[in-house]
Amino acid sequence: MTSTELGRRDAAPDAAPALTRARLKTFLSFYRPHIPLLLADLACAVVVSLTAVVLPLCANFVTKHLVPEASQSLDRIWQMGAVMLALLVAQALSTLFVDYQGHVMGAKMESALRRAVFEHCQKLSFRFYDNKRVGQLMSRITNDLFNLGELYHHGPEDLAIAALKTVGVVLVLSSLDPMLTLIVAGLLPFALAWALYFGRRMNRALAMGRRQIGAINERVEDSLAGIRVVQAFVGETEENRRFEAENQKFLESRRTGYRSEAFFSLGAEGFPELLTVLVIVLGAVRVVQASLSVADMLTFLLCVAVLVDPVRRLANFTRLWQAGYTGFARVMEILETEPDIRDRPGAVAVPRPRGAIRFENVGFRYQEDGPHVLRGLNLDIQPGEFVALVGASGVGKSTLCALIPRFYEANEGVIRLDGTDIRDIRLDSLRRHIGVVQQDVYLFAGTVADNLRYGRPDATRAEIEAAARAANAHDFIVALPGGYGADIGQRGVKLSGGQKQRLTIARAFLKDPAVLIFDEATSALDTESERAVQAALADLAQGRTTLVIAHRLSTVRHADRILVLTEQGIAEEGTHEALLARGGVYAGLVVGQGRL
Ligand SMILES: Nc1ncnc2c1ncn2[C@@H]1O[C@H](COP(=O)(O)OP(=O)(O)OP(=O)(O)O)[C@@H](O)[C@H]1O
- For ligand 1, atom 23, the nearest C-alpha belongs to 394
Under the banding of pLDDT at 50, 70 and 90, the label for residue 596 is: very low
List the beta strands (DSSP E) in 269-344: none
**Positive or negative, the Cα torsion across 369, 375, 379, 385?**
negative
CA of 429 to the centre of ligand 1 (A): 26
Q: Where are the domains of the chain?
A: 3-335, 357-593
Q: Which of 365, 397, 565 to mutate to test the pocket of ligand 1 (most atoms within 8 A of CB)?
A: 397
What residue's CA is closest to ligand 1, atom 31? 394
Distance separating alpha carbons of residues 487 and 491, to the nearest angstrom: 11
Tell me if the pTM is above 0.90.
no
For the Cβ of 502 lying below 6 angstroms from any atom of ligand 1, the answer is no
Query: Does residue 552 have its Cβ closer than 6 Å to ligand 1?
Result: no
| Pocket lining: 130 vs ligand 1, CB cutoff 6 Å | yes
Across the beta sheet with 420-421, the strand order is: 374-381, 357-364, 412-417, 420-421
**ipTM, 2 decimals?**
0.95
HSE-up of residue 535 (Cα within 13 Å, Cβ side): 13
Percent with pLDDT over 70 in the chain: 94
476-490 residue pLDDT tens: 899 988 899 988 877
* Ligand 1 within 6 A of CB of 563: no
The pLDDT of residue 529 is: 66
401 lines ligand 1 (CB under 6 A): no
Among 312, 16, 329, 324, which Cα is nearest to 159's?
A: 312
The answer to whether 156 and 38 are in contact (CB under 8 A) is: yes
* Smallest CA separation from ligand 1 atom 7, residue: 366
Q: State the pLDDT at residue 11.
A: 40
Report the CATH superfamily, name and number, of domain 3-335. ABC transporter type 1, transmembrane domain (1.20.1560.10)
pLDDT bin (cut points 50, 70, 90) of residue 72 is low
Indicate the CATH number of 357-593 among 3.40.50.720, 3.30.70.1520, 3.40.50.300, 3.30.230.10. 3.40.50.300
- Distance from residue 399's CA to the centre of ligand 1 (Å): 6
CA of 390 to the centre of ligand 1 (A): 14
Q: Of the ranges 80-89, 168-177, 202-211, 568-577, which one carries the lowest mean pLDDT score?
A: 202-211
Does the structure show a pLDDT above 50 at 4?
A: no
pLDDT of residue 69: 74
| pLDDT over 50 (residue 345) | yes
| % of the chain at pLDDT higher than 90 | 34
Q: Is the CB of 117 under 6 A from ligand 1?
A: no
* Cβ of 370 less than 6 Å from ligand 1: no
Atom of ligand 1 nearest to the CA of 565: 21
Atom 6 of ligand 1, nearest CA residue: 366
pLDDT of the residue at 76: 81
Residue pLDDT, tens place only, 79-138 = 889 999 999 999 999 999 988 988 899 999 999 999 999 999 999 988 888 887 777 788
Give the mean model confidence (pLDDT) for residues 482-507: 82
What is the rounded distance in angstroms from the CA atom of residue 384 to the CA atom of residue 418?
12
Residue whose CA is at the smallest distance from ligand 1 atom 4: 366
CB proximity list for 514: less than 8 A, separation 6 or greater: 352, 353, 354, 355, 433, 434, 544, 545
Torsion of CA 18, 24, 26, 30, to 10 degrees: 120
pLDDT of residue 17: 65
**Residue 504 or residue 9, greater confidence:** 504
Instruction: Find the 373 Cα to ligand 1 centroid distance in Å.
Output: 8
Q: Which of 341, 399, 517, 555 to mutate to test the pocket of ligand 1 (most atoms within 8 A of CB)?
A: 399
Chain Cα centroid distance, residue 458: 29
**Which atom of ligand 1 is found nearest the CA of 402?**
18
Name the residue at shortest CA distance from atom 17 of ligand 1: 398
Whole-number Å distance, alpha carbon 395 to ligand 1 midpoint, is 7
Does pLDDT of 7 surpass 50?
no
Pairing of strands 357-364, 374-381: antiparallel
From atom 18 of ligand 1, which residue's Cα is the shortest distance away?
Answer: 396
Atom 26, ligand 1: which residue's CA is nearest? 393
Q: How far is CA 326 from CA 67, 151, 288, in A?
A: 54, 11, 53
365-423 tens-digit pLDDT:
998 888 999 999 999 999 999 999 998 888 999 999 999 999 999 999 999 999 999 99
Q: Is the model's pLDDT at 594 over the cut of 70?
A: no
Closest by CA position to 540, among listed 522, 525, 520, 524: 520
